[in-house]
């Protein structure tokens, strides 16, 4: 397994809309290795979700593990939300592509998502709470959207400047 470089805001590649994954590709050794590498990258970061777009692979899939022990890895390939609750819930979100920044975002508290799993089998999952939030957050990445897009333009510009300053101090 290998750690993959994670794209960081404002990298324009994060705005790329991901293409669907061909079902025949799912079970190939190369795709399975990429999934393993994404899990390793996510756990190492550390994070609870990672969309392929964040590692410069612009295909519609993501890995998630919201468990405390990092022992419930989930793969969502070509995910689509088939229903969502009317009531929203506010979570303070962060993102591996926007390091060190956290903001309150309102999302549907409960969703039903249809997707292919790691074996290429179609699944449907009812999710709520943190898992529902994480799925929606990662699906936004697949559509070229970041959680900071939910912020006001002024706050988004403050985030951009803060990240630029952080990078300057690291360099």
Q: Are 89 and 127 in contact (CB under 8 A)?
A: no
| Dihedral over alpha carbons 101, 104, 108, 112 (to 10 degrees) | 20
CA–CA dist 52, 27 (Å, integer): 16
Question: Binding site: what residues are annotated?
Answer: 95, 137, 141
Residue 62 in 3-state DSSP? strand
Reading the block at residue 8, the tokens are 């960081």
In the residue annotation, 138 being an active-site residue is answered as yes
Question: Binding site for Fe cation: what residues are annotated?
Answer: 95, 137, 141
Q: DSSP letter string over 103-140?
A: EEEEEESEEEEEEE-TTS-EEEEEEEHHHHHHHHHHHH
CA–CA dist 26, 8 (Å, integer): 26
Residue 79 in 3-state DSSP? strand
From the candidates 68, 69, 138, 157, give the one annotated as an active-site residue.
138
Q: Which residues are catalytic?
A: 138
């Amino acid at each position: 397994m290998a750690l993959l470089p994670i794209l960081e805001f404002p990298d324009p590649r994060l705005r790329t809309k991901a293409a669907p994954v061909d079902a025949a590709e799912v079970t190939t050794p190369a795709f399975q290795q990429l999934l393993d590498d994404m899990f390793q990258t996510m756990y190492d970061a550390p994070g609870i979700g990672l969309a392929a777009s964040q590692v410069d692979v612009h295909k519609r899939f993501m890995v998630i593990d919201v468990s405390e022990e990092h022992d419930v890895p989930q793969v969502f390939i070509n995910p689509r939300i088939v229903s969502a609750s009317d009531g929203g819930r506010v979570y303070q979100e962060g993102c591996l592509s926007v390091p060190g920044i956290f903001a309150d975002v309102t999302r549907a508290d409960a969703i039903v998502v249809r997707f292919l799993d790691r074996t290429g089998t179609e699944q449907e999952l009812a999710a709520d709470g943190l898992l529902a939030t994480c799925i929606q957050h990662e699906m936004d990445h697949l559509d070229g959207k970041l959680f900071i897009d939910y912020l006001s333009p002024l706050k988004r510009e403050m985030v951009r400047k803060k990240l630029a300053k952080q990078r300057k101090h690291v360099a």
